[in-house]
Homo-oligomer: A and B are copies of this chain.
Amino acid sequence: LVSEDDVLNLHRILHGKIQIQNRIPLDEINNEEEKESVLGETLSLIYTPGVAHVAEKIQKNKGLVYDYTSKWNTIAIICDGTRVLGLGNIGPEAALPVMEGKSVIFRTMGGVNAIPLCIDSQDQDEIIKFVKILQPAFGAINIEDIESPKVLYIVDKLQKELSIPIFHDDQHGTSIVTLAALFNALKLINKNEIDDLRIVIAGAGSAGYGIFKILQKANCSNIIVVDKKGAIYRGRREGGIDNPYKKEIAANTNPEMKAGNLGDVIRESDVFIGVSGKAGLLTKQMVQSMKKESIVFALSNPDPEILPSDAAKAGAKITATGRSDYPNQINNALVFPYILRALLDTRSKKVDYTMLVSIANAIASLVDQSQLKEDYILPKLNDLRLTSRITKTLQSN
């Protein structure tokens, strides 16, 4: 696909993928004489002494910082480097080119200024403190590629304590796109009732937790989440329930309290959603044991839990992956630039799962009934309606 040499050379030549640009045409004056006089006049308006008037206005009415500065359109991407792509704990410096790439997408697709802050602390309380102190210059926070369950604690705590919204792409973004895909997949197998589907989620990290939360909010009552130790259920002994988020999962899923591994609980289920990070976790036999016309979303990257072709052969009616080289890519880029755009434009204070279900619905509705096919259940990445639909959803929420 992409060669390492091409990638490294491009990055060496670009020498950084983003930069600061003035919103006044200061750098376009070529004549030096003119530059001097324009510069002097401009600086007296945008810097001292003129800017003191702006500072005083904001001091009297803090809310005006949204009118007179870039706060309204600027977010921070916070990453501690502990869980970057499929590479694991590679540290903040190594995470920086990834976050710069994300910033390019924010700018290109959402028109958002996203400042990558790859930070040199992996301690949850230090990260929380850091983000709280960071607030004044930013309109929203995007949390990215921090290991779970630490990141769930951080996001929970910051949701309560920040005065600006916090979006956790691995949790919120993935859950929205997955639910949107599921909504459309169900239309194709004529199951309009999501409530009584039996859904198995493999993986209980940020993505697994987010998908459980959004499905619960969408009224799914028969979810089973499987982690490394097997199905999670209330009071599980083997492996225990080692964090509050798994406790929440245990208390709200698996109504029949089924124990066992994935092979045991997948039988007779309608939907498989894999966010386990384990290539090949789902075997053909397991898919065969599912209900007829099953839905298999094998989302782990770069190697899915099962190849779509294998899943189809074993009886799956609709498949999706996280990859662009198979049909039905479940890609967060379908959401994150637009939801941040919308959160900023609506001055939302908080992200909640009711909001996320509505957005999933809005995204699903962008695929017209006439276009909907087994290999086309999600709109394209550059669908220009995404921004306005997601913003409208937030406005009416």
- Within 8 Å by CB of A53, from B7, B35, B47, B49, lies B7
Q: Which B residues lie within 8 Å of A382 (CB)? A: 32, 35-36, 39
A59 within 8 A of B: yes
**Which residue of B has the minimal Cβ distance to A382?**
B36
Q: Which B residues lie within 8 Å of A27 (CB)? A: 107-108
Q: Which B residues lie within 8 Å of A17 (CB)? A: 22-24, 46, 69-70
Q: Which B residues lie within 8 Å of A50 (CB)? A: 2, 6-7
Contact between B21 and A55, CB atoms less than 8 A apart: no
Contact between A44 and B108, CB atoms less than 8 A apart: no
Residues in A98-152 with C-beta less than 8 Å from chain B: 98-108, 113-121, 126, 129-130, 132-137
- Within 8 Å by CB of A20, from B26, B91, B114, B301, lies B114
- Within 8 Å by CB of A137, from B45, B73, B117, B324, lies B117
Contact between A104 and B46, CB atoms less than 8 A apart: yes
**Residues of chain A at interface, number, CB under 8 A:** 104
**Which residue of B has the minimal Cβ distance to A93?**
B65
- Within 8 Å by CB of A73, from B19, B22, B73, lies B19
A155 within 8 A of B: no
Query: What are 30 A-B residue pairs whose CB atoms fall within 8 Å in the complex?
Result: A2-B50, A8-B53, A8-B57, A11-B54, A14-B46, A15-B68, A15-B70, A15-B72, A15-B73, A17-B24, A17-B70, A18-B20, A20-B114, A22-B104, A22-B107, A26-B104, A47-B104, A51-B85, A51-B97, A51-B98, A55-B84, A56-B90, A59-B90, A59-B94, A65-B96, A70-B100, A99-B137, A117-B134, A118-B137, A126-B133
Mark A residues whose CB is within 8 Å of B.
1-2, 4, 6-8, 10-12, 14-24, 26-27, 32, 35-36, 39-40, 43-59, 62, 65, 67-74, 81, 84-87, 90-108, 113-121, 126, 129-130, 132-137, 301-302, 324, 333, 380-382, 384
